[in-house]
């Protein structure tokens, strides 16, 4: 059943008008969501060609997918009729985006291994289109080191990893592994393929990122596990969306995003000074840095020596200036001020408390107790609160999350 006749009449308007999406469905329960996903993509003007693995057809029929996509489903590498019309190489070249949803642990492993043992994995090998992978599987399978390493491999190869979300699973387990909802995938397709809009053009944003280091003596310091990835992703996103961006970076090992002005600092006091110099000349201030709340009261001139007569050592600490609260307290040229709240319990309660106490316009609650997100991970999810509203931004890469966050901030300016 393989003639690739275009029976879709693609809409010539819509955010995805004229975009060609090759939707690769593998065999997971979330495959049933693909009918809705396809309809929504087509509504927005996309052309969708569905490719199914053998196992996918156990969960949703090719007939259903043909009906919603308006095109015969491709499912076999060895179908002479299909190869005669649009063979797998043409199909691979046709796509503007290959979206693997749901991507099972098995499909992810086969793609990571570079296998071409069915039509879908062969297409992924043969395409030079960007590939987005939307994992969906049991939470234990997702947590398995093999799956995590395979996903890391795909990410290294510049494939986009969209999801998964956490929640109750079809098997009764609760945890990470649910495929993103169809509309979340549609939004990601729009962000990736849609017309490049620059809603932040003409606006300027200052971002703090990374940890601070509080010196104890010339060789020692107190710090934390922030890698800077979240703050750097926000800087990159803001720049892509058209803003002038100043990034005040603690000591991290990351390249400066293109087009971003970077100011390197080390301690909370130096970050405070840089923030106060720049914040009031800008429309938005985002405090993503993990700033040390306290610093040693005095920095020893020389390396502190271990002594034989004392098993304990006391360092007296004093409070650092609260950078985001200082910016939010500006009375002249105060920017729209966004804080983060890294929490391990009662996340919403503590985040809302900081929103009020620090006089912020918005706060991004980051649950850092969840494995695979928060400090030093590539992915993250946030719950964003502001006085009149709230929005959940589900787990995705920090780059994609940052785009969503910047659009949300823009909607509140
Ligand atoms: O850098 P990554 O590895 O990518 O990790 C990202 C992150 C987990 C660090 C980030 O997403 C995050 O949650 N950042 C805030 C971390 C934090 O210090 O939260 P907090 O709840 O302690 O602080 C609340 C807010 O006050 C934050 O906006 C913080 O920047 C700000 N603050 C805190 C203390 C201080 N002296 N000055 C401040 O401005």
Distance 393 CA to ligand 1 centre (A): 18
pLDDT at 347: 94
Q: Kindly state whether residues 95 and 176 are assigned to the same domain.
A: yes
Nearest ligand 1 atom to the CA of 275 is: 39
Q: Which own/partner pairs from 178-184 qualify as long-range (CB within 8 Å, at least 24 positions apart)?
A: 178/30, 178/136, 179/28, 179/30, 179/33, 179/101, 179/102, 179/134, 179/135, 179/136, 180/101, 180/134, 180/394, 180/396, 181/33, 182/33, 182/34, 182/36, 182/37, 182/40, 183/40, 184/394
pLDDT at 407: 93
Q: Label residues 202-221 b or e (16+ Cβ within 10 Å = b).
A: ebbbbbbbbbbbbebbeeeb
| Angle between helices 34-43 and 182-193 in degrees, nearest 10 | 40
Domain-embedded: residue 100: yes
Ligand 1 pocket: which residues have CB below 6 Å? 208, 210, 226-231, 268, 287-291, 293, 320, 322-324, 339-342, 354, 366, 368, 374-376
Q: Kindly state whether residues 41 and 178 are assigned to the same domain.
A: yes
pLDDT digits (tens, 9 = 90+) for 342-395: 999 999 999 999 999 999 999 999 999 999 999 999 999 999 999 999 999 998
Nearest ligand 1 atom to the CA of 268 is: 36
Looking up residue 318, the CATH number of its domain turns out to be 3.40.50.10300
pLDDT digits (tens, 9 = 90+) for 223-270: 999 999 999 999 999 998 999 999 999 999 999 988 999 999 999 999
Q: Kindly state whether residues 284 and 372 are assigned to the same domain.
A: yes
Q: Kindly state whether residues 220 and 158 are assigned to the same domain.
A: no
Q: Kindly state whether residues 99 and 66 are assigned to the same domain.
A: yes
Q: Is the pLDDT of residue 8 over 50?
A: no
Q: What average pLDDT does range 189-201 have in this prediction? A: 82
pLDDT at 281: 82
Q: Is the pLDDT of residue 293 over 80?
A: yes
Contact 365, 385 (CB under 8 A): yes
pLDDT at 197: 67
Q: Is the pLDDT of residue 17 over 90?
A: no
Q: Kindly state whether residues 187 and 232 are assigned to the same domain.
A: no
Burial class (CB in 10 A: 0-12, 13-18, 19+), 157: exposed
Q: Last residue of a domain, which of 193, 227, 258?
A: 193
Distance 58 CA to ligand 1 centre (A): 46
171 tagged catalytic: yes
Domain-embedded: residue 367: yes
Would the CA dihedral through 298, 301, 304, 305 be positive or negative? negative
Looking up residue 82, the CATH number of its domain turns out to be 3.40.50.1950
Domain-embedded: residue 13: no
Nearest ligand 1 atom to the CA of 350 is: 21
From the list 281, 338, 95, the residue with the least C-alpha distance to 193 is 95
Domain-embedded: residue 12: no
Nearest ligand 1 atom to the CA of 320 is: 36
Pocket test for ligand 1, best of 206, 319, 339 (most atoms within 8 A of CB): 339
Q: What average pLDDT does range 288-303 have in this prediction? A: 97
Pocket test for ligand 1, best of 340, 355, 364, 377 (most atoms within 8 A of CB): 340
Pocket test for ligand 1, best of 213, 254, 324, 385 (most atoms within 8 A of CB): 324
Q: Kindly state whether residues 136 and 34 are assigned to the same domain.
A: yes
In degrees, rounded to 5, the angle at the alpha carbon of residue 26 between the alpha carbons of residues 22 and 31 is 90
Q: Kindly state whether residues 276 and 303 are assigned to the same domain.
A: yes
Q: Last residue of a domain, which of 142, 163, 193?
A: 193
Domain-embedded: residue 198: no
pLDDT at 170: 83
Distance 290 CA to ligand 1 centre (A): 4
Residue from 171, 189, 288, 364 carrying the catalytic annotation: 171
Q: Kindly state whether residues 213 and 182 are assigned to the same domain.
A: no
Domain-embedded: residue 140: yes
Distance 317 CA to ligand 1 centre (A): 19
> If you ran DSSP here, which 8-state letter would residue 139 be given?
H
Q: Kindly state whether residues 256 and 288 are assigned to the same domain.
A: yes
pLDDT at 3: 37
How far, in Å, CA of 270 to CA of 275, rounded?
A: 9
Tokens of 49: 């060609």
pLDDT digits (tens, 9 = 90+) for 136-176: 999 999 999 999 999 999 999 999 999 999 888 888 888 89
Distance 293 CA to ligand 1 centre (A): 10
Q: What average pLDDT does range 401-413 have in this prediction? A: 93
Nearest ligand 1 atom to the CA of 208 is: 30
Q: Kindly state whether residues 168 and 246 are assigned to the same domain.
A: no
What total number of domains does the chain contain? 2
Is the preceding peptide bond at 250 cis, omega within 30 degrees of 0?
Answer: no
Q: Kindly state whether residues 93 and 166 are assigned to the same domain.
A: yes
Distance 211 CA to ligand 1 centre (A): 8
Domain-embedded: residue 343: yes
Print the domain residue range for 249. Answer: 204-412
């Amino acid at each position: 059943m393989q003639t690739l006749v275009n029976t879709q009449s693609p809409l010539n308007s819509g955010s995805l008008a004229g975009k060609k999406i090759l939707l690769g469905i593998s065999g997971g329960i979330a495959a049933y969501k693909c009918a809705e996903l396809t309809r929504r993509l087509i509504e927005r003007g996309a052309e969708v060609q569905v490719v199914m693995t053998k196992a996918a057809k156990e969960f949703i029929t090719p007939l259903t997918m043909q009906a919603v996509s308006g095109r015969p489903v491709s499912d076999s590498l060895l179908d002479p009729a299909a190869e005669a019309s649009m063979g797998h190489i043409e199909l691979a070249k046709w796509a503007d985006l290959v979206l693997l949803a749901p991507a099972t642990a098995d499909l992810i492993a086969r793609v990571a291994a570079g296998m071409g043992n069915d039509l879908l994995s062969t297409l992924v090998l043969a395409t030079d289109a960007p590939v987005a992978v939307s994992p969906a599987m049991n939470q234990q399978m997702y947590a398995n080191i093999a799956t995590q390493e395979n996903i890391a491999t795909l990410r290294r190869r510049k494939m986009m990893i969209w999801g998964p979300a956490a929640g109750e699973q079809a098997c009764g387990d609760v945890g990470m592994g649910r495929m993103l909802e169809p509309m979340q995938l549609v939004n990601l397709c729009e962000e990736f393929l849609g017309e490049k809009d620059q809603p932040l053009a003409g606006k300027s944003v200052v971002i703090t990122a990374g940890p601070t280091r509080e010196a104890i003596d010339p060789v020692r310091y107190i710090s934390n596990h922030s890698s800077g990835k979240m703050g750097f992703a926000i800087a990159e996103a803001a720049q892509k969306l058209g803003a002038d961006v100043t990034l005040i970076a603690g000591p991290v090992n990351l390249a400066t995003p293109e087009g971003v002005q970077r100011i390197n600092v080390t301690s909370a006091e130096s970050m405070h000074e840089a923030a106060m110099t720049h914040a009031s000349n800008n429309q938005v201030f985002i405090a993503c840095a993990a700033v040390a709340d306290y610093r040693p009261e005095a920095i020893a001139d020389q390396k502190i020596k271990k002594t034989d007569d004392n098993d304990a050592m006391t360092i007296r600490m004093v409070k650092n200036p609260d950078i985001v609260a200082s910016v939010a307290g500006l009375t002249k040229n105060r920017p729209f001020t966004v804080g983060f709240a890294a929490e391990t319990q009662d996340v919403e309660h503590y985040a809302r408390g900081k929103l009020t106490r620090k006089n912020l316009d918005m706060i991004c609650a980051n649950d850092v107790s969840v494995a695979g997100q928060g400090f030093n991970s590539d992915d993250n999810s946030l719950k964003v609160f502001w006085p009149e509203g709230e929005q959940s931004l589900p787990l995705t890469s920090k780059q994609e999350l940052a785009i969503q966050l910047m659009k949300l901030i823009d909607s509140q300016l």
